[in-house]
Structure 1
């Protein structure tokens, strides 16, 4: 190709998978005025712009501060069964290539690609903010969902312990909480979740996309292995925590055939319920997912995208309420029937029930006046 002066411009280099990361590229977000491409300047001895004597630097995770002024996020979406949630972290090191939260990084001038899983932000004052919000006079308790955006038990939680601190506050206030995670690290907090679960104040959903360890390793590279997630279901259920399995997302033509096997294994470990979400590809995720298919499943790329379009009215994504989570058309309906039959067969078709908001109370703090009666 030629540049603006008629000279031959360098060829764009193809993006290559990064070991231990989900996204293949770091494509610019939709709000950026400029786009950036790596090009072959001719210095690479291999003819592909890569010099084996000077490999690219390893992509390391950085952690910044999110100076949030509030911690509980409200929503009125008819597609989800909760109206409030908490996200202890922005970005997620698990690196799930299909993660629908990736486009949020574009709001901060970062890429929904590799930036999303390597440039993370934590909220050091999360527990303090939560305590403050729950203590407000007009606060009315309803179940708080955690893990519906980014995973609260991603690897940096081992060091930062934001989720642990949040759970301590919720337990102190006897406030109900629902958790979704892909991490066996949730078992660390059984000393809190066990008593809360037995009191009707906590439940956990473990997300399992595939039982294929190799596929999981390239699709969600820093999440717990499928086996460890099954162990988490078993540990939670044994501790008295109502536990379900989320087969999410269902990827047509890639993981859809595993649904029954996942449900069977989860039921055997003690799961009491199940749910699924069809693959969603909003905004930048569509391009990132296509890149990933080309790199890791080129033989199935066309088939997967064809099935996605069949469920989304000919597009890669349809954002309409009531349809974006399940899809429409023959394929989506056939899968829905399959899933309904499988959940019934394995005893996972019964709702876990509502959590108990009646136990909520504001614990006394130093300086509070004691009640006489």
Structure 2
């Protein structure tokens, strides 16, 4: 591996002034934290930055790189009791959406990259994903269970526009009548509406749309390259109107940033047709604690300490909570208030609504790609 793969320095003249700090426009993370598995660490020297400034050069162009990879497997068994899925698959590793709180940032270190800017700018493209999926679900030993696209990173992130791996995988699920779930915060999913409608005819599809805030100002700094809130709500409405069940992911709830929006968020997604919603209380595990702390002190310096203290209050006094069964729910008075609001939201806006269980009965008869008569 190239020793410099894990390093993309902060740059000089592609930033904007935000709250009197240098801020990298269009990105969530504002640093490239050193990969914990690497024996090397890097820093950007001031004399080099000054040289670039004097020469009119950019220390970094802030460009996204798409890197092809060919993994041996694509379907992952999920063993965590905190995650409501049994199997997942991710066509892409890393995510250009740049959500600052994303737990998946830590996994980028396994590939030799930083969980900071590398996670948003070095996107690994699993070019053989469709073939691996087809091989998996055609196996004689495989019994149909819902496989969720985007268990880690968004399957409809900007890379999907070019590579269409998610679309190809949906065609595999349809061909073999296999149930599939999707988690996304990108309206690009509507490109595949006809595919989703075909899957829904046999109750083979469930979609989870993430809606974290109703404030565009908050969205732009919290999730910089995601679809607007207006488009996300519109996506929920269009999918619902076409008979595709939607669960809204009101996650994560971050005390002091979006915790005051709980009831309004629930009402908005219900008004647009969502059948249910789920939520988590933010946790800043692994490298995310440092990355998030650096980010909030640059974006919200007046409230940074308050927000960080409230997050810690929900997790036993620490930003990094890894306790199974508690880490996604939180504990303490603030977490209880969030849970109580969610219960009220469900009683008020989701009474008698039920998200359907997906159909696992058809696949066995279609393992050859067409219905077996005997």
User: Shared topology, TM-score over 0.5?
Assistant: yes
1:243–1:270 Cα contact (<8 Å) kept? yes
- Give CA deviations for 1:129-155 in whole Å, capped at 9, x if unaligned: 111111111110111111121000000
Distance 1:189 1:267, change over 3 A: same
**1:157-190: per-residue Cα shift (whole Å, max 9, x none)?**
0110000001000011111111110000011111
Greater CA radius of gyration, 1 or 2? 1
Q: Alpha-carbon deviation of 1:269?
A: 0.8
Q: Deviations over 1:316-338 (max 9, x none)?
A: 12211110111011110111011
Equivalent of 2:143 in 137, 140, 144: 140
Aligned to 2:176: 173
Q: CA RMSD in A?
A: 2.2
Report the Cα distance in structure 2 between the residues aligned to 1:160 and 1:50, rounded to whole angstroms. Answer: 36
Report if aligned partners of 2:37, 2:109 keep a CA contact under 8 Å in 1: yes
**Alpha carbons of 1:33 and 1:258: their partners in 2 closer, same or farther (altered >3 Å)?**
same
Q: Which moved more, 1:310-319 or 1:14-23?
A: 14-23
1:15 Cα deviation (Å)?
8.2
Q: Does 1:183 align with 2:186?
A: yes
Question: Does the CA contact (< 8 Å) of 2:315 and 2:331 recur in 1?
Answer: yes
Determine which of 90, 107, 110 is the counterpart of 2:110: 107
> Is the aligned partner of 1:313 residue 2:319?
no
Does residue 41 of structure 2 align to residue 38 of structure 1?
A: no
Contact 1:274–1:348 (Cα < 8 Å) also in 2: no
Could you say which residue in structure 1 is the equivalent of 2:345?
342
CA contact (8 A) 1:27 1:112 kept: yes
Match of 2:214 among 207, 211, 216: 211
Cα contact 2:138–2:368 (8 A) shared by 1:
no
Deviation at 1:194, TM superposition (A): 1.4
SS at match of 2:23: coil
The answer for the alignment partner of 1:24 in structure 2 is 30
Shift of 1:205: 0.9
Is contact 1:16-1:25 (8 Å) kept?
no
The separation in 2 between residues aligned to 1:201 and 1:352, in whole angstroms, is 13
Distance 1:325 1:181 in 2: 19
Query: How is 1:125-136 mapped onto 2 (pairs within 5 angstroms)?
Result: 125-136=128-139
Query: Taking structure 1 as the reference length, what is the TM-score of the superposition?
Result: 0.90
Equivalenced residues, count: 355
Within 5 Å, give how 1:162-311 maps onto structure 2: 162-311=165-314
Deviation at 1:124, TM superposition (A): 1.2
Quote the Cα distance in structure 1 between the aligned partners of 2:64 and 2:102: 18
Question: Once the 2 structures are TM-superposed, how far is the Cα of residue 372 of structure 1 from its aligned partner?
Answer: 7.7
Residue 371 to residue 121, structure 1, CA distance change in 2 (3 Å): closer
Query: How far apart are the structure 1 equivalents of 2:22 and 2:361?
Result: 53
Which residue of structure 2 aligns with residue 117 of structure 1? 120
Report the equivalent of 2:15: none
Residue 361 (structure 2) aligns with: 358
User: CA shift at 1:17, angstroms?
Assistant: 2.2
Normalised TM-score (structure 2): 0.90
Offset at 1:55?
A: 4.2
Compared with structure 1, are the counterparts of its residues 372 and 180 closer, same or farther at alpha carbon in structure 2 (3 Å cutoff)? closer
**C-alpha offsets along residues 37-87 of structure 1, whole Å, 9 cap, x if unaligned?**
223228739xxx955944433211111112111111112211122211110
Deviation at 1:36, TM superposition (A): 1.4
Residue 363 (structure 1) shift:
4.7
- Deviation track 1:196-218 (CA, whole Å, cap 9, x = no partner) reads 22421111111011111122111
